[in-house]
Structure 1
Amino acid sequence: MGMEFDTLDEIYSFYNTYALVTGFGIRKSSSSKSQVTQHLIWKKFECNKGGLKKLDSIANTNVKRHHDTRTGCMAKLEVRINAEGKWAVTQFIKEHNHILDTPRKAKKHRSHNISHKNLIIKDLIAQLHSSGMGPSSSQGALVASYLAEQQSIDHDFYYALELDIEGFLQSIFWVDSRARKNYLTFGDVIIFDVTYKTNRLLMPFAPFTGVNHHRQSILFGCALIADEKEETFVWLFQHWLHCMLDKAPQVIITDMDPAMLNAINRVFPKTRHRFCSWHINKHLFEHNHAMRDQNSEFAIDYKKWFNSKSTSSSQRRWDEFIQKYQISPNNWLSTMWNRREHWVPVFLKDIFVAGMTSSGRSESINAFFDSYVNSNTSLMDFIKQYENALNARRKAELDEDFTTMNSKPCLITQLSIEDNATTYYTRNMFKLVQIEIKKGIGCWHDKISKVENVTTYKVGEATEDKSGWCTVLHEDSNFLNINCDCSKFATDGYLCKHIFHIMIKKRVREIPTHYVLKRWTINARHVLSFGAGSREMTDQNVTPLMKWTLRELAIQVAEKSSEALDKYMDLYDELKRRQNDLSLIQSQKSVILPYSEIGSSTVVPEMPHISIRDPLKVKTKGRPKLASRIIAGIETSQAIAKQRTCGSCGEKGHYATTCPNKRNG
């Protein structure tokens, strides 16, 4: 109060800078003029969440509606011109009625965009001009040097190189610390695809892709590989698993490549493997186009079988299908029937796939990379441009975080359960939940039976044949338990229209928290993936994943305690006490693993004394016959060995075609 400024622009700049540091945006508001001179004498600047949307605009359904960002916040700064002609602060309200953003996210507010626009453009131009590391005769050596440099900056950066015996670079795998952390939060389902080959050497690009809480594609690391053989995939998967602290994904989605299938069985034996539905449909028409063209009912019967609701009905319809169309055991469909647990929905109803059934997300990532690389992109430039693309994806997530935190979705019903859903889900996830609620209103139901406190319903849309309606079991108890045989919650992680219909009928006002999957909420990143309550441990075994989780928890606690000096001192004293306690038992048995077991070392070792030569131009299949591997940036004792075994004599280190015993014989 009492501060003075020469101009209103100075006041706006001052308040806007304060808002940026504090975590909100501002806008110019009311003003008044002198009745004598008609000059401005009073002006108000307020938080951009001040006021409320007018009721008539909410009621008007013919107008395009936008997200409501206002909360009626009273934070403001008022100024009035004084006798000296200065603008003096007459009122300042500091308190807000909403959550404030971090300074990084606050830049997204409209009032801060202009002040940061020039800096953003300059940074972008600098990034584009800095791609590449100067002329060199060896791209392979450049890559090795660059990845080692990245690890010296980011201690959790992980990379591996594969060289053949002549020093030619075969495969490269790399992943930064943020991607590793992302995987521990969103790595329940991954897509692996190697169809993209846009680089000068035609090395297949192999990204590990998932989906975040905004349903955006997210990258968990990537590789440029020598070929698409089983041993290459095993080498890559083993490094990726080691990098991710031996935490295998629950589900992996790929095409039907047999080499990939075998590698997944070897490295991820407990992971469910789903075939990409797009590739299935593509091959279905390729292998059966004649039968489909000759019989108009083929596609209808196939769809009925494919959408069977139980394994028994699937078996019955399959028997009828192969008999009707005389499908032989050698037919492609017969082969796929033997692999039905990898792709037929009824055999996959118990696994969570985060709404993904195809490699479409991976292919969309590939399309996204098209704006960064082309067929003339060098190996070094590809890695640099990958970073630019990765940063763009992360910026998109930051934008969605900001939008979700600073707006409220438009409701389409008067139901409390719809409004309750907005408090849990991210903006994009809420849209999907909202669709199910709306469909649930339009559903019908038949009450089938009631045994004690469990009621069975058949639920479906009025336009559907009742034989296709879903079965919903509702248990009437304090702990709401409701299940539907469509299995949408199990596979996609949010409730279906059938369950919402029964909830609405029962006047349930809130979605029970045990039906809200944390990975779809705005606070998904604040949920640690591993806790002390989990029993993936023994008293004698502390895994790298457990150590990582402990470190992340410590970081979160440290960030919260730094808000006030007394909290900081309490935490500091407690940590020092714990450190002293651990030092007393250090001589008996350490429970702290070496840092390197997280998958990277704090000190970058010298590069192996071997000349790294540029990779040869890659064919789609095939690789040099004799290969050896080195791993840069991690201790050699952690290297995952990969040796060739002779099919003739059984010894390692050569093939049957080069077997010395065979030649001597």
Structure 2
Amino acid sequence: MEDSIIDDGGLEGCIEEMGELAKDKSPYLGMEFPSEEAVYEFYNEYGRIVGFSIRRDYCNKSKKDGVMTSRKFVCYKEGEREKDKRYTMIKNPRSETRTNSKAFMHISFKRELLKWIVSKFDNNHNHPLHLPQCTHLMPSQRKVYDAQGINIDIADETEISLKASHDLISAIAGAKEFVGFTREDQKTYLRAKRQRNLQYGEAGSLLRYFQQQVAENPYFYYAIQLDVDEMITNIFWADHQMITDYGLFGDAVSFDTTFRTNKEYCPLALFSGFNHFRMIVIFGAALLYDETAESFEWLFETFLDAMSGKKPVSFFTDQDQAMAKAISQIMPEVFYGLCTFHLMQNALKHLGYLFKSGSKFSSDLKACIYDYENEHELIEAWNSLIDKYNLQENEWMKRTWRKRE
């Protein structure tokens, strides 16, 4: 066991100690603070001690001068997630994270004192609280501090892998629970750094290149999406040859984001297909800030706009949920298939131990993918594969089978 795991006796003592500390740090009515940010930091620290994450809820502002007059902070599990009305049955629902917790703290701004006052407080949680050694995983506790950012930047510049640099920072801190952020937070930090570094010189050069291409060939197409701070996020372009090839060979399109610039964590997305010589042709390219459903929706809409609204007959991607959601929104009538290359890569990722030397799992799985056109024969072959390798409880195999249609 790792040194960071606490035994039962040590855990009980730690919980008792945290309980005593929470009594001293507990909010009370009339408590004063110099700013709204100070209130957030205090309540967040209280949540860390007790074992729950917090978030800002609503605020009220004066109609006269727009000054904030009150604010409500709630438990992160407050409320309930709205039901997805697009489908009557959802095959792979997201895990529920909200429990309609009623815990909150309400503050009011007293103009005559220039202070924020705690006006209401409820500590009624209807869910289990986090154990002390797990509080670093709570959303409101995860933060990359400036000193840690320096270490991340140095590791990134020396081309140390994301996992290795996070392990190194964890070793320096003493254990992962003392770091204060996860590997995904570190990845997000590096993405944000890339966006911050995309200053006028770099963005201007990119725009000048696109404008030059448009001047030389009016059929060159490009589009740039900006965020609320008017910073570049997603970029798409297609030249005249790409657009012409799509008009001729665009019935079947493969969309791939595995071409990634590792240093900047900025996915390079390619729309591709085959021509009449079975040679690969590119229909369009994009640089994405992230791989969310919203980014994919913007990209697919932009791609169709560049191609004069012509939609493909078949669209192949990997097993990414965000892509699937975007396709259902933008191209619901298009046949959506899974790329067999990515299917095998995901199999290797989830079932790597079955690909060892001497195992026939790879050939048996490929047989299920390629060799059967009759549904009854496919079902028999799949069931035989499941029984042969004892995969009855494997979640990835279950999800893949549900998606076969």
Q: TM-score, normalised by structure 2?
A: 0.46
**More relative contact order in 1 or in 2 (CA 8 Å, sep 6+)?**
1
Larger radius of gyration: 1
Q: TM-score, normalised by structure 1?
A: 0.29
Instruction: Judging by fraction of residues, say which structure has more strand.
Output: 2
